[in-house]
Structure 1
Amino acid sequence: MPVYKTIHPNSQTTVKIWKITESYHELFQGVKLKPESLDRVLGMKSEIHQRGFLSVRHLLANFGYTDSDLYYDDNGKPHLKDGRYISITHSFTFSGIIISNNKTGIDIEKNREKVKLIAHKFSNYEFCYLNEDEIDYVKKLTVIWGAKEALYKLYATPGLSFYSHILVIPFDLKENRTVAWIDYKEHKSRYDIYFLELEDFTCVYTVT
């Protein structure tokens, strides 16, 4: 399908979301891949990952870029050749890209009960205000996970820990925004976090 949703957080930033309804072959027909990208997608064992990879290339085209405009550094962080900042995500049936003149990060996660089983791995301070009995517990955990994923992509520094170095302050799901802090190696940075529901998924993004 065409772009599912477009968001303009500010005049220098755009988010585009794709709902992946097409087959692998339909998505493959519509893009031109550089050799290393072709090898990568053909080497993927999961069709879900292949469709996610290709849908991201369709989103790039919607921004006016091609696969050749995108490259990855040694840490796996994506970059655009024109110098603008980009972050990429895909999860099952949704993919997303955020492009900005400033550092940025985005993540999409499916709202699933299993997040409760791994919450202790990515949450620390947040347990001070979370209540496991509240009806929105899974959604709040998913926002926290997504926020930390987005910030990890933005910060792109080896050694950064979701559990120890990223803190998400208390928030109300109805407000669709919160604040998070990165406290790492004597440097403290504040970030605005934005989130929204995409059917049974949660999208979280941040821009400096």
Structure 2
Amino acid sequence: MPFYKKIVINKTTSIFIWKIEEDFNTLFRQVQLKDVSLARLESMKSESHQNGFLAVRMLLQHIGYTDFDLYYDNFGKPHLKDGKQISISHSCDFSSILISSTITGIDLEVLKEKIVTIAPRFMDVRHLEGLNNVDKIKKATVIWGVKESIFKIKNEKGISFPQHIFEKEFHLDDNRGIAQLRFNNIIEEYCFQFEFVENYALVCAFQNK
């Protein structure tokens, strides 16, 4: 049972990570799915996506929930029936969920060289100056994760990563930072934390109030 890691952010917020080592059939046999989830699973064309979906349900069961406790709103945002906040992310070999008493967002991304090539499309590339190639990949991936996490929290149509979400300068050894969402004439500040799990960047964000 490859439950991989629990990361405690604070006394009301924790991240749970599952390393996907099982095949589809093994995962499928171990989870209970409501009809709508089964239909969603069957519609997925990629076995990798199916396994990530099932691994999220394995995580829910690991911490005392089931698929029947999880539902999605009209915008596709996940919720738990007991009122706890949940955010979900999976990528290739890992699935992760964040459980909190406050609204949060999580993103898990594999580290790939391509992120540096596309960085000008979503971030201020000056934040990569002076870094070696490995650290450029790490930092660009973290910044993507920051913007993805904030987008999951806000979940509003029209938000653009390069035009509306701005990260303040930070260093990789800080493991945390600040970003702003400037959208619809409103400025909101978010704090974020990150760490690296094998060849992945794991990022979570919270709104500063």
TM-score range, shorter chain: over 0.9
For the residue of structure 2 that corresponds to 1:129, the secondary structure is helix
5+ residue gaps, structure 2 = none
- Structure 1 residue 127, shift from structure 2 partner: 2.1
Name the aligned partner's letter for residue 37 of structure 1: S
Indicate the SS of the match to 1:87: strand
1:53-72 to 2 correspondences below 5 Å: 53-72=53-72
1:67-110, CA deviations, whole angstroms, 9 ceiling, x for partnerless residues?
01111111111111111111000000011000111010000001
Between the aligned partners of 1:186 and 1:85, the Cα distance in structure 2 is 27
The letter for the 2-side match of 1:87 is S
Point out the more displaced range, 114-123 or 104-113: 114-123
Q: TM-score, normalised by structure 1?
A: 0.95
Deviates more, 1:68-77 or 1:50-59: 68-77
Runs of 5+ unmatched residues, structure 1: none
Q: How many residues align?
A: 206
Deviating above 3 A after TM superposition, structure 1's stretches of 4 or more consecutive aligned residues are none
What secondary structure is seen at the aligned counterpart in 2 of 1:9? strand
CA distance in 1, matches of 2:30, 2:127: 46
Counterparts of residues 71-150 of structure 1 (less than 5 Å): 71-123=71-123, 126-131=124-129, 134-135=132-133, 136-150=135-149
CA contact (8 A) 2:16 2:96 kept: yes
State the shift of 1:138 in Å: 0.9
State the TM-score, normalizing by the size of structure 2. 0.94
Once superposed, what is the RMSD of the aligned Cα atoms? 1.3
Matched, 1:158 2:151: no
1:157-187 Cα shifts (integer Å, max 9, x gaps): 1111111110111111112111111111121
* Structure 2 CA distance for aligned equivalents of residues 82 and 2 of structure 1: 26
SS at match of 2:128: coil
AA at the equivalent of 2:126 = C
Q: Which residue of 2 aligns with 1:50?
A: 50
Structure 1 partner of 2:167: 168
Instruction: State the AA in 2 paired with 1:192.
Output: C
Instruction: Give, in whole Å, the separation in 2 of the partners of 1:176 and 1:165.
Output: 23
- The percentage of aligned residue pairs carrying the same residue is 47
* 2:198 is aligned with 1:199: yes
**Distance in 1 separating the partners of 2:61 and 2:206:** 22
Tell me how far apart the structure 1 counterparts of residues 76 and 18 of structure 2 sit (CA, whole Å): 22
Alpha-carbon distance in structure 1 between the residues aligned to 2:206 and 2:26: 33
Query: Shift in Å at residue 2 of structure 1?
Result: 3.0
